Each structure stands twice: as structure tokens, then as C-alpha cells.
């Protein structure tokens, strides 16, 4: 379920936030503060929090276009006040108290949870890899943010910011709080931020410090990633108003170097290669594959690691495309197997993410393979995917489709034309031309190719002048049609409707003058079906150097009834016109 972003105003400060209602009878609010991430995003608002049954409040750290640690801009702390007012307003709306609330955050969000939680009397606080002395940290590691927080960027202002949390703790008269702090010696900020700050919490009755010691934790962001199960279980327990007690503990596991080396040597000797396709977005005549490629047991910890190549192998020949390495630290978590190997640069994409141009690729069926260098020489292995992955893109008169699963990856390039449906329900319900823009829409159902939802199939507009064919991606129009126009009984063709995207038309300005046959193709469940000619598009050059564009629909008598939604809109417009006429008549009579 999509959660809408909302605004809260206090004085001159606007706070952006999202919220989600609790499930069942849960009476608890979790407030989540964000760490350093894309500024317009939230933390923990996806799968990680999906199964939580408590109320949730996510607060965005974006004030005057920059991160503010939920504190201040130019040492004006109205941001801090507004954020707390938002939380208090949400508690009032839900009928909850601060004892039924948890403030949580990671990195800079962890500082906000600790500082605001202690200063304003919240019962439960969870902070993973937090900064405790925000002035020193921001000045040394985030100078742009430090300039945003302060007026002059001075040492005095740094000291004020550094003293915020210690001052709040010293002034706190209620030490009966549930506080959970996660850190690790390998966090590069641990020594300067966590070590000198830990004694500050010694008087709290339920202070819990979890220090991770694991081969998988090598820097700041790894702390939260590694401890995610424990963080979630703690939040779930707090949401039940049952605070756990861990005390000061250490978790994680580090293998003895010799044992780790032996395990990795066994993996290297086995010669297993991971070659997975993770995603593939599309663009005009291009595919943008992203995946993972590495020999198991071998470090791929630097961008200079041996590159991989994507090979398309088919009857028309083999075509190789260079790939580049990109960083993704989660990979050495995902592919951990008995011993740690650094796979952070095992991820690949096309160079500069420019994609693969498929316009010059010959027609045919291709197997996708990944080719890479190893200690034993060059290896080529089939490209697979952990989950079903499908993508397609139009390319002139052709459609290029890719399908990848655990058994392998295949791609085909085939013409749109050549396949027509024996039984199809198609019509051009509406078409218009505005300048160089052409709009088409209507139902297109093919018997046996069900369309039960908007993602069941993709539509394409084809314009052919007899020599060349130009293709354009269409949308579904979000217009529903009769469920079963063929009378099959249990079939569902509800979403078999095409339209130009957002009903805005497609741009024909790059097409040469001429007459074009207008057809529509449907791609669904491995089938490509093209309609008969629906219209003729005529593009003419004028003597003044301009162009005229007109469209002539074929067989208008065969037009199917407009779907119920469009008919309803016409009825509403007609009733409004009648109402306006009646009102005008009454005014004339009264005058």
C-alpha cells in the first residue's frame, strides 16, 4: 500500500512525513529518523517495516534543501521544535503517551532518536551506529551539512552542537528509559563518537549496548545491515510494550585467519562462478542490465577487479558487450558462504550506465552468457536470475524481449508484423491530432490472452509507410472494458485497453512526410499479436516549410461502444450542460 507524504507546519517550519496505521489492536508508535541517504527518501519504509503491527511515523530530514540532523539551520533550532511538535501531535491523534512510543534511527538518525528522545522524555530509544557528538562529526566528515547547521562555521558553534546530547542526558531526571545502541569496533567513527560517549548512559536502568564483532562488518553502514534481525526483533518487542533487556553484549563471529583461508581455498578450487542478472530496465532501443558476476572465494573488493562481458550467443552470431564494476556492499552479506570474501565490486552494469543498443542486433533468439577472467583463464557461464525477470523494448519494426530465471536467460528479437489473431476484439474508440501529436485509444482483446490486470500485457503503436515501420510504446489508459467479450465464461479481459501514455499523444515530428498505416500490437504471455489497419496517418510538407498531420480512421461504423467510464463522463458533462441551461432560464425569468 502506497503511503502518502504529508506536511506539518509549526511556525515557519514545514516538516515532511509519512505515517501508517497500526494493525490489529496494537497501541504503540514507532518514529523513524533517516540517516545519510538520498535527501528525498525515508528510512525503513519498505519491506523492513512491512510486518510490524505498530503505528509508524517516518520523518524526512530535509530543511531548506539540506540535511539538518532534525536540529537547526544557521543555529536556529526551530526545526527541532517543529519535529517534536509533529511527534506529539501524532501521539495526541492516536491517543498514546510518550511511554507508548519508540524513537529510532540509524547514523545521524540515531543521534536524533537519542537526543530528542532523552530531552523530550520518550520512553524507548533505538540508535544504530549513531553519532553522539554531532558538531565534531559534521565539521570533519560532512562540511556542507556543518555549514548548513551553523551560522559562521565556528569552533564555538561546533562545541554547542557537541554538547547537545551530553547536556540533555545531564538534565534528564528520569533514568528509567529503554535505550538500545548498536555499534562495532570496525565502524570508522566508533573511536571518536561511541567510545567517549558510552559512559554518559551508565545511569539508565535499561541501557543496552550491542557491539558487533564480525568479519561481515567492516565499516559504518555494515553495522545496521548486520544487525537488522536484532533491530527488527527489538522494535517488534517494543511495539508490544514489552522492552527487552540485553545489557552490554557482543555479537558476531570472526573466523581464525587460517581457517578462513582454508575455506576460501576450497571454494576457489571448486571453480564455481556466480553470474546473476538482477534487473534490466529499458529505454529507447536500449536495455540496461544490472547483475552480479564473480568466481566464488575470490575477493572482488576493488573497482579494478577483472571486468566481465555480456555475450549474446545465437544462430546469427555472438555479440559481446563490455561491462563495468560498481560498488554494492550488501553483496558480501548476500553471498557469504562459511568465510568472508569481499564481493563489494561484484556488481556490473554497462559502462557509464549507457545501456546496450539493440537496434543493430540481427533478428533471432539469443542465450545470455557472462564472460570473465579468472586465475584459470577466461570463463563463460550462463546468466541466470534468482527470481523471474522479464523486460521488453520496441525497436522500429521489431520487439526485443528478455526473460531470465534460475535456468538461464534468453532474449529474442522478432518483427511485430506477421501474427494476427483469429479472434480479436479491437476498435479505435478515439483518435486526434494536435500539431505533431497523434493520440489513439481503444480496446484490444485477443481470445485466449487474458488481461486480468494492468501489467498483463504491453501495447505498441506501429506506423508503417510500406518501407519503414516506426514503433511507439503505449499505455493501458487505465480504462476497463467488458470482462469477457468472447463469452468464454471464466476469462478476464478487463484491462485490454490501449492509449497513448497519459492520453498525451505520441510525437510524429521526426517522421518523414507520407502516408502511414496505423496498427496496434499486443505483447502478452510470450505472444505478439498485431491488429489490422485501424487508420491512415497522413503527413504533408507545406510550401511554407511546415507540416500538416491528419488521421483518417478506417471503418468507423465498426467502432465498439466506448467503455463505461468514458460513457459516464459524457453523461456527467451532458447533465452539467442541462443544469447550466436551466439556471440561465430561471435567471432570465426572474429578471
Q: Supply the pLDDT for residue 137.
A: 98
Distances (CA, A) of 112 to 35, 206, 221, 541: 10, 19, 17, 64
Q: Supply the pLDDT for residue 573.
A: 62
Is pLDDT above 50 for 112? yes
How far is Cα 434 from Cα 580, in angstroms, rounded to an integer? 29
Lowest-confidence segment of 17-21, 59-63, 144-148, 443-447 by average pLDDT: 443-447
Is pLDDT above 50 for 434? yes
Distances (CA, A) of 310 to 45, 288, 290, 304, 343: 34, 12, 11, 18, 19
pLDDT level of residue 185 (50, 70, 90 thresholds)? very high
pLDDT level of residue 560 (50, 70, 90 thresholds)? very low
Mean pLDDT calculated for residue range 402-408 = 97
Mean pLDDT calculated for residue range 278-305 = 93
Lowest-confidence segment of 259-263, 365-369, 490-494 by average pLDDT: 490-494
How many CA atoms are closer than 13 Å to the CA of 367, on its beta-carbon side? 13
Q: Supply the pLDDT for residue 545.
A: 86
Q: Supply the pLDDT for residue 562.
A: 40
Mean pLDDT calculated for residue range 554-564 = 49
Instruction: Give CA 372 to chain center in angstroms.
Output: 29
Is pLDDT above 80 for 14? yes
Mean pLDDT calculated for residue range 289-313 = 92
Is pLDDT above 50 for 115? yes
How far is Cα 472 from Cα 484, in angstroms, rounded to an integer? 28
Q: Supply the pLDDT for residue 588.
A: 63
Q: What is the pLDDT of residues 138-163, one digit of tens each?
A: 999 999 999 999 999 999 999 999 99
Residue 560 or 156, more confident: 156
Is pLDDT above 50 for 558? no
How far is Cα 326 from Cα 343, in angstroms, rounded to an integer? 11
Nine-digit cell string for 334? 548476500
**Average pLDDT score, the chain:** 93
Residue 433 or 590, more confident: 433
Is pLDDT above 70 for 241? yes
Is pLDDT above 50 for 363? yes
Segment holding 141, helix H or strand E: helix 134-141
Q: Supply the pLDDT for residue 590.
A: 59
Q: Supply the pLDDT for residue 482.
A: 86
Q: What is the pLDDT of residues 331-347, one digit of tens each?
A: 999 999 999 999 999 99
Yes or no: say if 469 and 394 are a contact pair by the CB < 8 Å rule. Answer: no
In the chain, the percentage of residues whose pLDDT exceeds 70 is 95
pTM for the whole structure: 0.83
How far is Cα 398 from Cα 387, in angstroms, rounded to an integer? 26
| C-alpha dihedral sign at 113, 115, 116, 119 | positive
Which residues, listed in sequence order, are joined to residue 287 by a DSSP beta bridge?
282, 356
pLDDT level of residue 305 (50, 70, 90 thresholds)? confident
Strands (E), 86-195: 101-106, 124-128, 178-184
Instruction: Give CA 411 to chain center in angstroms.
Output: 25
Amino acid at each position: 500500500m502506497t503511503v502518502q507524504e504529508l506536511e506539518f507546519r509549526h511556525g515557519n517550519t514545514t516538516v515532511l512525513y509519512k505515517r501508517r496505521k497500526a494493525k490489529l489492536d496494537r497501541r504503540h508508535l514507532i518514529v523513524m529518523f533517516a540517516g545519510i541517504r538520498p535527501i528525498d527518501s525515508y528510512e525503513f519504509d519498505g519491506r523492513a517495516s512491512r510486518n510490524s503491527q505498530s503505528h509508524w511515523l517516518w520523518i524526512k530530514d530535509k530543511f531548506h534543501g539540506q540535511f539538518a540532523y532534525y536540529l537547526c539551520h544557521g543555529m536556529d533550532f526551530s526545526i527541532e521544535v517543529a519535529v517534536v511538535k509533529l511527534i506529539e501531535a501524532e501521539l495526541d491523534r492516536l491517543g498514546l503517551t510518550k511511554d507508548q512510543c519508540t524513537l529510532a534511527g540509524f547514523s545521524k538518525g540515531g543521534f536524533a532518536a537519542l537526543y530528542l528522545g532523552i530531552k523530550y522524555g520518550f520512553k524507548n530509544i533505538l540508535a544504530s551506529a549513531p553519532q553522539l557528538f554531532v558538531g565534531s562529526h559534521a565539521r570533519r566528515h560532512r562540511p556542507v551539512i556543518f555549514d548548513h547547521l551553523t551560522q559562521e562555521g565556528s569552533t564555538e558553534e561546533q562545541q554547542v552542537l557537541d554538547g547537545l546530547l551530553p547536556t540533555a542526558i545531564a538534565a534528564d531526571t528520569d533514568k528509567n528509559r529503554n535505550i538500545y545502541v548498536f555499534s562495532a569496533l570496525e565502524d570508522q567513527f566508533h573511536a571518536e563518537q561511541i567510545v567517549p560517549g558510552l559512559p554518559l548512559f551508565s545511569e539508565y536502568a535499561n541501557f543496552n549496548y550491542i557491539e558487533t564483532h564480525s568479519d561481515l562488518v567492516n565499516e559504518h553502514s555494515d553495522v545496521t545491515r548486520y544487525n537488522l534481525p536484532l533491530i527488527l526483533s527489538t522494535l517488534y518487542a517494543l511495539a508490544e510494550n514489552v522492552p527487552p533487556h540485553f545489557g552490554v553484549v557482543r555479537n558476531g563471529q570472526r573466523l581464525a585467519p587460517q581457517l578462513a583461508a582454508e575455506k576460501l581455498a576450497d571454494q576457489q578450487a571448486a571453480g564455481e562462478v556466480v553470474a546473476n542478472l538482477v534487473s534490466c530496465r529499458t529505454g529507447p532501443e536500449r536495455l540496461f542490465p544490472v547483475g552480479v558476476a564473480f568466481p566464488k572465494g575470490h575477493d572482488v573488493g576493488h573497482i579494478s577487479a577483472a571486468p566481465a562481458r555480456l555475450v549474446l550467443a545465437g544462430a546469427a552470431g555472438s555479440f559481446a558487450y563490455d561491462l563495468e564494476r560498481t560498488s554494492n556492499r550488501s553483496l558480501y552479506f548476500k553471498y557469504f558462504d562459511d568465510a568472508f570474501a569481499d564481493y563489494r565490486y561484484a556488481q556490473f552494469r554497462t559502462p557509464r550506465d549507457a545501456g546496450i543498443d539493440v537496434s543493430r542486433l540481427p533478428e533471432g533468439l539469443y542465450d545470455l552468457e557472462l564472460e570473465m577472467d579468472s586465475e584459470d583463464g577466461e570463463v563463460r557461464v550462463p546468466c541466470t536470475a534468482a527470481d523471474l525477470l522479464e523486460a521488453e523494448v520496441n525497436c522500429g519494426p521489431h520487439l526485443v524481449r528478455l526473460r531470465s530465471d534460475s535456468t538461464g536467460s534468453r532474449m529474442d528479437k522478432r518483427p511485430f508484423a506477421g501474427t494476427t489473431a483469429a479472434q480479436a476484439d479491437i476498435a479505435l474508440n478515439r483518435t486526434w491530432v494536435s500539431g505533431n501529436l497523434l493520440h489513439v485509444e481503444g480496446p484490444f482483446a485477443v481470445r485466449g490472452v487474458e488481461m486480468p490486470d494492468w501489467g498483463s500485457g504491453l501495447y505498441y503503436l506501429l506506423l508503417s509507410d510500406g518501407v519503414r515501420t516506426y514503433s511507439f510504446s503505449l499505455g493501458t489508459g487505465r480504462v476497463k472494458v467488458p470482462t469477457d467479450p468472447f463469452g468464454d465464461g471464466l476469462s478476464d479481459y478487463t484491462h485490454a485497453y490501449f492509449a497513448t501514455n497519459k492520453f498525451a499523444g505520441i510525437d510524429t515530428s521526426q517522421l518523414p512526410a507520407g502516408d502511414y498505416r496505423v496498427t496496434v500490437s499486443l505483447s502478452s504471455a510470450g505472444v505478439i499479436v498485431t491488429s489490422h489497419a485501424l487508420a491512415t496517418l497522413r503527413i504533408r510538407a507545406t510550401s511554407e516549410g511546415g507540416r500538416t498531420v491528419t488521421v483518417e480512421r478506417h471503418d468507423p461504423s465498426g467502432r465498439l461502444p466506448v467503455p463505461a467510464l468514458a460513457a459516464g463522463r459524457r453523461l456527467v458533462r451532458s447533465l452539467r450542460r442541462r443544469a447550466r441551461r436551466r439556471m440561465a432560464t430561471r435567471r432570465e425569468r426572474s429578471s
